[in-house]
Structure 1
Amino acid sequence: MLRTQLLEQTYQYSVEAYDDVWYEDETDCVLSYDASWAYTPFAVMLEKLERERKKYMGNLNASDIERLMLQAAPFFHQFVLAALRLSIHEMVQLPEYQGFQKAPRLLIRCGEYMDLSENVYVEDQAVPSLEEVEQKLASWTENKAAEEEGGKIIYENFKNLALPELNVTAKDLRYNDFSGSQLTASRFLSCILAGTRWYQANLAGCSFENCLITDADFSRSNLEGANFQGSSAKPVRENGNRTPGLCGTRFDYANLDGANFEGVFLEKNTSFTGASMSATRMPVQYQDQLKFTEVQLQGIQWIE
């Protein structure tokens, strides 16, 4: 995000690629992205504030309005970030992405130019050994410093790993990517799983009891017999901040046969498109609140 572009009302984002020295990379690889679709109300706000400013007879100047608008910029940027998160799986399958040479550990990040940014995708070229994974998970669950920070491990790559019967309790795992991993009969209890990815993962018999699953993506995963009792997809929305909660929790084309959603809180943008839901236990309140096909409605076991 470029604040100068916002004030000029052009709304161009800078898209740049760096090598492992980041901003010291001397080779330019830059293009721009037009994000005006997300910032259309920005111009309306700017015009209205400028009109109101004139009523204060010189007590407010143009720089005061600019400062107010820049303070509001993150509330618009969050929609661009959400769009990137929603499209990233398709993006990394493109021939253009597959064709270029990548660093051993590649990060796709989104944020403000030469300022705070966050990972939306992490790719390791070398598949870590089981010993390396176990060491990372050991420090994750047992390290004293990690415990003092609430056991946080975020924006990490756990794709395509064999970790059956993994047991994790009360950890902050937001935005980790478990896509393609074998996690059968694993237990994630009272964990923060906001924004996590489980695309095409084998999660048969897994437990996600009392977890925060806002914006989690379970698309095309095997969740047969999984337990979501007491979990919640409720977003935090205060003072204009709506992240997480813009993408919606997704179970598209997942196998949810025999899964248990008893006591779960689901937002209206939770998606079950194409999901198999034979004998899925679902609170009856969602029969009208969420979108289900006739086949899904007949296969679901509705509970009071």
Structure 2
Amino acid sequence: MDEPPAPGGSATREDVAAALSRAPAPVRFSRWNLAGADLSGLDLAGCEFRGCRGGRAEFSSSDLTEARFQDCDLNNTRWRGTRLAAAVMEDCKLTGAQFMEAATLGLSFARCLLINAYLRGVSFRRCELQGIDFQGADLVGCDFREAVLTACSLREANLLDARFEGADLRGADLGALRLSEAARFRGAVVSKQQAAELLSGLGLKVV
């Protein structure tokens, strides 16, 4: 995979397009400063991003099919209409990221911060989610059926219409829940401690 040198200072859309045009195959971007860059509509399928700074970058309508992001700062990025099928994001900061109307079939996250991120309708069905912080995230309509969540946080997340049938939540932090919120985890597997916490939230004491 071609790995062009990072330009001095912040990279522009033209820098990224030039790197793509010179390479016969997907490009590996290592430690590029992509903060605030407009990368909308670019064909970045199969590309790798390692240790990049991309806060506030615009990826809307880009093709990132089978792309890989590792150890990247992607806070407050926008992904409206982006093709992210089979893409992988590992050890990335995605606080405030907006995944609106994105094609996310097979998109996977590992050890990522998704605090206050917009992820409405994303399917995590049968996924093994490790070390994901969804605190305050918009997870309306997300599908967590048969997923396994380990060292994950769902505190204060918006879980309206999310599905958890068959999900293993024993390794997740569910936060303090009210009765109406607890019902959203119907069909999920929880630990005895989590069950006790849920009941205590209803004013019941477990002895």
- CA distance in 2: counterparts of 1:288 and 1:153, whole angstroms: 30
Instruction: Find the partner of 1:186 among 62, 75, 79.
Output: 62
**Conservation of the 8 A alpha-carbon contact between 2:119 and 2:140:** yes
| Alpha-carbon shift at residue 199 of structure 1 (Å) | 0.6
SS in 2 for 1:140: helix
In structure 2, the partner of 1:228 is 104
In structure 2, the partner of 1:249 is 112
Q: Does 1:143 align with 2:22?
A: yes
In structure 1, the partner of 2:89 is 213
RMSD over aligned Cα, in angstroms? 3.0
Give the direction of change, closer, same or farther, for the CA distance of 1:298–1:186 in structure 2 (3 Å limit): same
Give the direction of change, closer, same or farther, for the CA distance of 1:295–1:157 in structure 2 (3 Å limit): closer
| Alpha-carbon shift at residue 251 of structure 1 (Å) | 0.7
- CA distance in 1: counterparts of 2:157 and 2:53, whole angstroms: 31
| Farther off after superposition, 209-218 or 287-296 | 287-296
In structure 2, the partner of 1:266 is 129
Question: Letter of the aligned partner of 1:187 in structure 2?
Answer: D
Q: Which runs of 5+ in 2 are unaligned?
A: 1-6, 167-207
Give the direction of change, closer, same or farther, for the CA distance of 1:300–1:173 in structure 2 (3 Å limit): same
Relative contact order, higher structure (CA 8 A, sep 6+) = 2
Give the direction of change, closer, same or farther, for the CA distance of 1:292–1:218 in structure 2 (3 Å limit): same
Residue-by-residue CA offset, 1:96-115 (whole Å, 9 max, x unaligned): xxxxxxxxxxxxxxxxxxxx
Question: Letter of the aligned partner of 1:141 in structure 2?
Answer: L
Largest Rg, 1 or 2: 1
How many residues are paired up? Answer: 160
Residue-by-residue CA offset, 1:144-189 (whole Å, 9 max, x unaligned): 4x74xx6221110111122322221111212222211222222211
In structure 1, the partner of 2:174 is none
Q: Does 1:174 align with 2:50?
A: yes
TM-score norm. by structure 2 comes to: 0.63
SS in 2 for 1:142: helix
| Alpha-carbon shift at residue 220 of structure 1 (Å) | 0.8
- CA distance in 2: counterparts of 1:295 and 1:139, whole angstroms: 40
SS in 2 for 1:169: coil
Give the direction of change, closer, same or farther, for the CA distance of 1:173–1:295 in structure 2 (3 Å limit): closer
Give the direction of change, closer, same or farther, for the CA distance of 1:179–1:263 in structure 2 (3 Å limit): farther
Q: Does 1:162 align with 2:41?
A: no
**Conservation of the 8 A alpha-carbon contact between 1:211 and 1:232:** yes
**Conservation of the 8 A alpha-carbon contact between 2:35 and 2:55:** yes
- CA distance in 1: counterparts of 2:103 and 2:118, whole angstroms: 13
Instruction: Find the partner of 1:291 among 153, 157, 161.
Output: 153
| Alpha-carbon shift at residue 192 of structure 1 (Å) | 1.8
Q: Does 1:198 align with 2:74?
A: yes
- CA distance in 1: counterparts of 2:112 and 2:106, whole angstroms: 15
Higher helix share: 1
Residue-by-residue CA offset, 1:187-237 (whole Å, 9 max, x unaligned): 211112111222111222323221221112211111123333223345xxx
In structure 1, the partner of 2:13 is 133
Give the direction of change, closer, same or farther, for the CA distance of 1:294–1:193 in structure 2 (3 Å limit): closer
SS in 1 for 2:88: coil
SS in 2 for 1:153: strand
SS in 2 for 1:137: helix
**Conservation of the 8 A alpha-carbon contact between 1:219 and 1:251:** yes
